[in-house]
């Protein structure tokens, strides 16, 4: 895997990078076809602060996985180790010699434009998750701004933009599989020779100030933030709620508490909110991880109830869940099989199940590479994460889990930080005005403008570029 970190970032550059990826993919189409016939694969991916080039494999013997990325671009290559370098050299050469074809540019521009325009036809839960990410993640731009810029981009603009985009870059690479360390080093050296060597190199190293990182908005303790908006598709009757609880920055002890709580609460949440109350067909409780900032989120899409009502039912569920948690005996906590007719259990079997999930071997090289690449891309670099979290789980007690719930999750918890994203479908559009005009408690903050809110909030520190983690 290769990650190109680039030195420019703006709405216009985002659009230019999308066009660049599409055009480059089109140029590589013929080479990619024959590579796939030979059992090789590559992928180009746009990222928040670069692009990644991916050359990665399947599960068969003799396969290797290469990922390289730079700010804004990810390249993945997959394939048999004795042929992977040929594919790598082809992809790298096409990136280095990129030329815009005006006839193909107009076709690709139309495809990209339609892709942006189709955003409003996404399901409400996808829109709500998009708003949540836009609100929490720094250095992100709304799709509507990118769509506004796109019609003004011409082939000449992309031709000028491409060399400027690559003029400053920082590469992160990951190679795994049936390949020796000296071969891997040789492949990386080849990439550097193409881009960074010569009297007039394509790329130069980023300045220290250009090493952008993925930073996340830090919500205030004891506050509940609410953002409401109409669904983008006026013909969609579904509404949606994303109820996000921000908990902590990556830490082994806190991670396992959050993971265990999510595991034991997932089925009861589905049972109560989906089966009993029948709030919506899509009802999910899951963990959320934004560049090492972890939390819980409820995602509920419904055509029968509005987002505010669903929000109140989520809080009622947490209150009910807490009462069951407090009533649980130590025998129930330690028992292998929970008694019948109970709504929730925190049993030793839950702990053991989570330990077994963590100790399960990776199913294939792609899954293993994904684990390590996530550590690299987030900057956490905790490659022994699974073993460390299993050790923390073995020491976890019932009292510690209850204390975690009381501190971070329960209604009125002193450390609780909540963000509710409410998307109103046409069935509940009439509720939008009334829900947002009602008086609220002092701890509730209504967000009118996403970017004003984002600018006003502090940010978590980034794992990227910490002392001892990155050499500038």
- Residue 12: count of CB within 10 angstroms of its CB: 18
> Which parts of the chain have pLDDT scores under 70?
1-19, 30-31, 45-74, 329-348, 465-472
The answer to whether the predicted template modeling score (pTM) of the entire model surpasses 0.85 is yes
CA angle 249, 254, 256 (to 5 degrees): 125
> In this structure, what token pair is assigned to residue 47?
């990222």
Strand extents, DSSP E, 61-117: 63-70, 73-80
Q: Residues, the chain, total?
A: 472
301, β-bridge pairs: 240, 282
What are the residues whose beta carbons fall under 8 Å from the beta carbon of 439, sequence distance 6 or more?
none
* pLDDT in the model for residue 283: 96
* pLDDT in the model for residue 125: 96
At the topology level of CATH, where does 224-456 sit?
A: Cytochrome Bc1 Complex; Chain A, domain 1 (3.30.830)
Cβ contact 63:177 at 8 Å: yes
User: Look-up: residue for tokens 């360390």?
Assistant: 181
Cβ contact 207:46 at 8 Å: no
Nearest-angstrom CA–CA distance, 161 and 141:
19
What residue ranges do the domains of the chain occupy? 2-210, 224-456
CA angle 344, 349, 352 (to 5 degrees): 130
What strands lie across the sheet with 417-424, from one edge to the other? 282-290, 293-302, 239-249, 417-424, 224-230, 444-447
Q: Could you confirm whether domain 2-210 is CATH 2.40.440.10?
A: no
Whether 224-456 and 2-210 are alike in CATH topology: the answer is yes
* pLDDT in the model for residue 39: 75
**SS3 call for 129:** helix
* pLDDT in the model for residue 299: 97
Nearest-angstrom CA–CA distance, 221 and 132:
18
Nearest-angstrom CA–CA distance, 448 and 228:
8
Classify strands 2-6 and 50-55 as parallel, antiparallel or unpaired: unpaired
* pLDDT in the model for residue 346: 47
Task: Give percent helix, percent strand, percent coil of the chain, each to the nearest 5.
Answer: 50, 20, 30
> In this structure, what token pair is assigned to residue 15?
């659009």
């Amino acid at each position: 895997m290769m990650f190109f970190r680039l030195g420019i970032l703006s709405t216009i550059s985002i659009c230019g990078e999308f066009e660049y990826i599409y055009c480059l993919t089109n140029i590589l189409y013929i080479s990619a076809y024959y590579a796939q016939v030979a059992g090789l694969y590559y992928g180009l991916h746009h990222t928040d602060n670069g692009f990644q080039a991916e050359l990665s494999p399947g599960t068969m013997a003799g396969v290797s996985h290469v990922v390289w990325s730079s700010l804004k671009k990810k390249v993945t290559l997959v394939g048999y180790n004795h042929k992977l370098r040929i594919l790598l050299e082809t992809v790298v050469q096409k990136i280095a010699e990129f030329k815009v074809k005006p006839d193909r540019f107009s076709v690709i521009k139309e495809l990209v434009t339609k892709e942006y325009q189709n955003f409003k036809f996404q399901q409400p839960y996808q829109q709500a998750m998009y708003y949540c990410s836009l609100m929490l993640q720094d250095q992100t731009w709304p799709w509507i701004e990118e769509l506004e810029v796109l019609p003004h981009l011409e082939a000449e603009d992309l031709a000028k933009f491409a060399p400027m985009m690559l003029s400053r870059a920082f590469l992160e690479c990951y190679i795994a599989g049936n390949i020796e360390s000296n071969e891997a080093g040789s492949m990386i050296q080849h990439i550097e020779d193409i881009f960074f060597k010569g009297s007039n190199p394509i790329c130069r190293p980023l300045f220290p100030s250009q090493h952008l990182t993925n930073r996340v908005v830090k919500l205030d303790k004891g506050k509940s933030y609410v953002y409401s908006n109409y669904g983008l598709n006026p013909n969609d009757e579904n509404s949606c709620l994303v109820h996000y609880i921000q908990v902590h920055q990556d830490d082994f002890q806190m991670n396992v508490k959050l993971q265990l709580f999510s595991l034991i609460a997932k089925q009861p949440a589905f049972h109560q909110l989906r089966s009993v109350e029948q709030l919506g067909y899509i009802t999910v409780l899951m963990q959320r991880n934004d560049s090492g900032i972890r939390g819980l989120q409820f995602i509920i899409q419904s055509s029968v109830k509005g987002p505010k009502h669903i929000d109140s039912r989520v809080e009622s569920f947490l209150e009910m869940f807490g009462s069951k948690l407090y009533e649980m005996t130590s025998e129930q906590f330690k028992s292998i099989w929970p008694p019948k007719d109970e709504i929730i259990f925190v049993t030793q079997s839950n702990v053991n199940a989570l330990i077994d999930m963590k100790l399960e071997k990776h199913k294939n090289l792609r899954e293993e590479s994904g684990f390590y690449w996530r550590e690299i891309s987030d900057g956490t670099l905790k490659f022994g994460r699974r073993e460390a979290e299993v050790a923390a789980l073995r020491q976890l007690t019932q009292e510690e889990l209850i204390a975690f719930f009381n501190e971070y999750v329960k209604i009125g918890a002193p450390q609780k930080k909540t963000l509710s994203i409410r998307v109103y479908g046409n069935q509940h559009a009439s509720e939008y005005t009334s829900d947002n005009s009602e008086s609220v408690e002092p701890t509730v903050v209504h967000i009118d403008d996403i970017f004003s809110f984002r600018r006003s909030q502090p940010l978590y520190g980034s794992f990227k570029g910490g002392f001892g983690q990155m050499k500038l």
